[in-house]
Amino acid sequence: MSGLLTALVACLSLAAFAEAKTPSCRREDVPTIDVFGLQVIDVQAKEVRNYTTWMSIPGLTAVAPPGPIDFCNITVTYTHPGLHDTVNNYIWLPLENWNGRFLAQGGAGLAAGADGWLAPNVASGFVSANTDGGHSIFGDIQKVGGDAAWWALPSPGNVDWNLLQDFASRSLDELPKISKQVIAGFYGKPADKSYWNGCSTGGRQGLMAAQRYPDNYDGILAAAPAINWANFVPAGMWPQIVMHKLDYYPSACELEAIRRAAIDSCDALDGLQDGVIAAPALCKYDAEAAVGEPFECGNVTGKVTTEAAAIANAAWAGPVRDGKREWYGVTHESLLGFSGVPGMAGLVMTECDDEVKRINCRGKPFIVGQSYVRDLLFKDAEYDTSHMGEDDFWKALRISRNEMMSIIDTSDPDLSEFRKSGAKMITWHGLGDQLIPSDGTLDYYQRVLALDSNAQDYYRYFEAPGVGHCMGGVGAAPSQPLDVLIKWVEEGIAPETLSAASLPVNGKAESARHRILCPYPLVAAYTGGNPNDAASFTCAESFDATKGHDEL
């Protein structure tokens, strides 16, 4: 008995030591990483003090004011023997005030991770990590986020399927497994809870984790997810195909005039005239109605043409063949051209040698769709997507569905294993998303519900009227959805609404719109009062007696 007592005391002493362990940022203190299927090449530990370079985006990262942070950056570099790849995991561990949680951060475009997005998470007390998915996340964003040729196309006609698998899925399983081992060694105890946070590609990564690796996280926040990849990415080229066919390349000003006309027509369908189309399924506006209307943007003037109307209608309808829609288009309130704000552009981009006189104009496809079609589908870095015809478009869509569906599509509605794990997931999508049609996400969630009518017990979907891709627009975006997810996971309080707010106009706080977002199939119905006050809305089954959703 005395021996047993001695052993027990020793165990308790070790446990107390572990609880009291002071983190040290040294390579020798990092435990041996043991994850099946990979071989660690190198581990680096670097103490970072007074770090201030970051990007805090409400709804996309933890919310934290800019300020210096101190952390240990542990970089784990590994390979999959025989596959000739190199993957880097970047794990940032707070040197003090760790909240006991691990938060993995998603990427953007064709980058598995993004610069600066870990910092606000660390400032909020999380250990935060991301992966480069086998190709560096640091450097030129045009190269990293939107161009795949340099890493996925080693020679004409040959895709590097191993690196594509790393980016699409494999690294997403390994990131939490590696990070959790590092955390346990660094602090002397494991993380209490583990979370995923991401938008766009980060949203797709979150859903990939839920579908294929359901035991890795306790909670997943997957916003504006780039799911249905095999469909929506090539389908996003459709407006460019129509422009090329009509040999007409409208200015952003002309496209904006059409978009504004659509908003004016459909704004009040939800019972509130506020410059937002909150009921896009009810909007049947035909851009032909805007033909002949004048527009003016500085030096650019003119009247809406029949060709521009046809292009706008094509963007809203999505690709159609033999009378059947092959995928969804963007909504009527989605930005079509370039807004003048870097990063805020739609699928109907054009460029000209002379923008004012519109001389020698041509299409300018969305960089991710362009690279995907050129490098991963046609496997030819010299292919010119700006001259892509309709036959090549349908060929690209067929190749995408045949070759990429099982690799990167992330649209499996069977979440039964995720449900069994006890984890929770929240998805939200801006209805003004100009790059990823929100109807594709709605379609996915409806298929989830068709398989499991009780899916809301662990997975809830929210739509944000007037919000663009991950951010932007005049609508109200979720304020702190990560906090809501944590409360659901750790306190069992399911979100009945998400608090949302828009940016103030000209810095005037009173101009900001405060709304509630309701879990599908409910909508935020206006009940009267100040439309900028969230209390003026309630979750209801519909805005009025009629509502619907166009099916494929």
Residues serving a catalytic function are 200, 433, 469
Give the Cα separation of 283 and 333 in Å (integer): 10
Minimal CA–CA distance to 318: which of 551, 70, 17? Answer: 551
Tokens matching residue 311:
């292009």
Give the Cα separation of 545 and 531 in Å (integer): 21
Give the Cα separation of 439 and 269 in Å (integer): 18
Tokens matching residue 460:
């809830």
Cβ atoms 205, 224 nearer than 8 A: no
Name residue, tokens 């051209």.
Answer: 337
Tokens matching residue 278:
């909150």
For residue 175, give the H/E element and its range.
helix 171-187
Minimal CA–CA distance to 195: which of 66, 277, 105? Answer: 105
Give the Cα separation of 217 and 489 in Å (integer): 10
Give the Cα separation of 513 and 474 in Å (integer): 9
Cβ atoms 336, 259 nearer than 8 A: yes
Q: How far is CA 253 from the centre of its chain?
A: 27
Give the Cα separation of 426 and 526 in Å (integer): 24
110's CB contacts (< 8 A; 6+ apart) are 144, 145, 146, 147, 148, 167, 201, 368, 371, 372
With H, G, I as helix, E, B as strand and everything else as coil, classify residue 92. Answer: strand
> What are φ and ψ of residue 391, in 5° steps?
-60, -45
3-class secondary structure for 433-488?
Answer: CCCCCHHHHHHHHHHHHHHCCCHHHCEEEEEECCCCCCCCCCCCEECCHHHHHHHH
Pinpoint the alpha helices (H) of 52-170: 119-123, 141-146, 149-152, 161-165
**Count of C-beta atoms within a 10 Å radius of residue 535:** 10
DSSP at 364 = -
DSSP at 278 = S
540's CB contacts (< 8 A; 6+ apart) are 518, 522, 523, 524, 525
Name residue, tokens 């869509």.
Answer: 397
Using alpha carbons only, how large is the chain's radius of gyration in Å? 24
Tokens matching residue 550:
């166009």
398's CB contacts (< 8 A; 6+ apart) are none
Name residue, tokens 């497994």.
Answer: 177
